[in-house]
Amino acid sequence: MVRAKEMKDTDFRSDLMQGKTAILLFEKASTRTRVSFETALFHLGAKTIFMTPAESQLGRSEPLKDTARVLSRYNDCMIVRTFGQEKIDELVRYGTIPVVNALTDQGHPCQVMSDLLTIYERTPDLSKVRVAWIGDGNNMANSWIEAAIYFRFELFMAFPQGYEPDKSLLTLALQAGAKIFCTNDPQMAIDGAHYVNTDVWASMGQEAEQKRREKAFAGFMVDEQLMKYAAADAKFMHCLPAHRGEEVSEGVFESPASIVFDQAENRLHMQKAILEWIFS
């Protein structure tokens, strides 16, 4: 985070990756992830190739392990945004170049690191921070659980019954000493929180569940009334895109407490820091 903040403050540019090529394999559509990575790579001197399943053998019958071995002979790294975590794992197993997890159904590590940078800018001592997660136990929730293992902030999470995060991951985090508290009561989770996080109720690929999820998540909207239970100077966070009127009210999203666009900007700076760490 320190390095990402330095990069942000100096509008960092480098020729570190001059002459290198990064391939972006995206099975899921994206705005922030694609643009932040492509811009970060450009700022470090690299060229990029963007591919979807429709533009490659990924959409046909070629085994993923063959794709991994071929692309490793053409490129210097892969940046992958996909559904199943097992696809990332297979690319790592059979490829010979770095593979960056730009999102799977299991986790969104680059996003949570950018979110932590956004918090770090305001509260450098993360051990004094209480983060609330309100909503689905999805890939972002899993990544917050993982982050709590390493950065030692307090994490209070509220989910509707039946929408909890990965139980084995949560158990591992608690065994590692992470300060995580789970409930089905949003008011209890948000009480005294310095940073309040949420995400869409139906992630990409779950559109058929929208109506059922709207019913299950009743009472989990982060609105002005719920924010009253947070700390007086609490900030609202969202990885975007947001569905106003569902997981967050228009008033909270557009309020002075909202730092969602700082989060979005910080994707660029954290992406550069991650790439520099890989290639230095």
Question: Do 242 and 260 form a contact (C-beta atoms < 8 A)?
Answer: yes
> Measured between alpha carbons, how far is 192 from 170 in angstroms, rounded to an integer?
22
The residue assigned the tokens 């071929």 is 70
Angle between helices 260-279 and 109-122 (to 10 degrees): 110
**Annotated active-site positions, please?**
81, 108, 111, 199, 239, 267
238 is in an annotated binding site: no
> How is residue 211 written in tokens?
């109506």
30 is in an annotated binding site: yes
Between the alpha carbon of residue 24 and those of residues 3, 39, 72, 101, 256, the distances in Å are 24, 12, 13, 11, 35
239 is in an annotated binding site: yes
User: Cα Rg for the chain, rounded, in angstroms?
Assistant: 19
109 is in an annotated binding site: yes
> Measured between alpha carbons, how far is 243 from 152 in angstroms, rounded to an integer?
30
Question: Do 207 and 172 form a contact (C-beta atoms < 8 A)?
Answer: no
108 is in an annotated binding site: yes
Q: How is residue 207 annotated by DSSP?
A: G
Q: How is residue 179 annotated by DSSP?
A: E
66 is in an annotated binding site: no
> Measured between alpha carbons, how far is 9 from 4 in angstroms, rounded to an integer?
9
123 is in an annotated binding site: no
Check the CA dihedral 216-221-210-184 and report its sign.
negative
105 is in an annotated binding site: no
57 is in an annotated binding site: yes
Start-to-end Cα distance in the chain: 16
199 is in an annotated binding site: yes
Binding-site residue ranges: 30-33, 57, 81, 108-111, 139, 199, 203-204, 239-240, 267
Binding-site residue ranges for carbamoyl phosphate: 30-33, 57, 81, 108-111, 239-240, 267
Binding-site residue ranges for L-ornithine: 139, 199, 203-204
